[in-house]
Structure 1
Amino acid sequence: MQLEEAMSFIKDNIKRLLNTEDVILYPVSARSALEAKLMATSSFGKLNEELSLSGSQYAPNSFFELEKFLYSFLDGSTIAGMDRMRLKLETPVGIADRLISACETLVTQEYRCAKQDLTAINDIVNSVNEFALNMETESLSWRGQTLSMIESTKSRVVELV
C-alpha cells in the first residue's frame, strides 16, 4: 500500500514537472534483487538468466524489468538502441559544436581587432617615416642656410680685416 502511494506520488509529480504522460517507474529493492541474483548464480557459479528470470523473489521487485530496460537502452544492436546511442552522442557533439562556433566567433573578432591594430601601427610607422624624411629634408635645408650664413660671415670678416 505504501509502495503504491509512493509510486503514485512520484508519477504525478514527474508528469507535472516534465509535462509528459509516459512515465515508467521501476520500484526496486536492491537487497531483494541482490539476493535473487546471488541465488540464481550460486548454483552454477555464473549468471543463469533463465533461473534469474524464473526466481519468485526476483520478478516482484521489478529489478528484472529495470535491468531489461537498461540493457535495451544501452544496446546499440537494435534500431531503438542505435537511436538512443545517437541521442547520447549528439548531446556532447552538439555542445562541442556550439563551443567551436563560439570560439570561432571569438577568434574572428580577435582577428578583426588585430587587423585594425596592425593597420593603425602601419599608419603610425608610415607617419614616423614620413616625419623622419621631412626632418632630414629640413635638416639639410637648415644646414645649407647655416653654411651659407657662415660663409657670408667669413667673407665679411675677411673684408673687415
Structure 2
Amino acid sequence: MIRLILMISLALVGVSGAQAQSKKLMYSCELQDMWLQGQKLSAGIDIQDLDHASLKIQSSTETVTCPLEIESVQDASRGRIAKVIFLMTPESCSPPEKSFNRNLRRRIELHIDAQPGGKGDAQLSWRHRGNRSQCKEVVNNLKSHGIGNKFHPASAGTNKTTAGTR
C-alpha cells in the first residue's frame, strides 16, 4: 500500500515537473520595427522549444498570434547562433481576417548573438520589403538547451609539451 502511494506521488511530481519545463520559454524577444510603430502595434517572437514558436502582434484592443514551425537552427562556432529559420503560413494566424498577414514572410530568419557576455542582440527578417528589424531580448534560455555551448578552442591548447630533446 505504501509503495503504491509512493509510486503515484512520484508519477504526479514527474508529470508536473515536465509540464513546468514545457512552459519555460527557450527564447523571447520584442520587435523594434518602424512599420509596427507607424501602425501603433507591438510584436514579439516566443520560441517554446525546437518545434514550436509564435509571432504575436498586439494592438491596444487585440492580439494576433501566428504559429511558427522551426525549420532549422544553425549554431556556428564560438557560441553564436548564425540563424534560426521559421516557416509560417500567414493564413494560419488568428484571427485570420487581419489584412497585414499578406505582408509577412513565409520564411522568417532570426539572427541571435549568444556569445558569453554578449548583449543579447537579435535581428529578425519578418516582412516582405522590409529590412532586418532589431529584436530586444526578453528571455534567453538557449544555453540550457545546448545552443551556444560550443567548445572554445582558444582556452584549450596552452599546455603544449615538447616531444624530446637532444
| Bin of the TM-score, shorter chain as denominator length | under 0.3
Structure 1 or 2: more strand by fraction: 2
TM-score by length of 2: 0.24
Structure 1 or 2: more helix by fraction: 1
> Which structure ranks higher in relative contact order (CA pairs < 8 Å, sequence separation ≥ 6)?
2
TM-score by length of 1: 0.25
Rg (Cα) greater in structure: 1
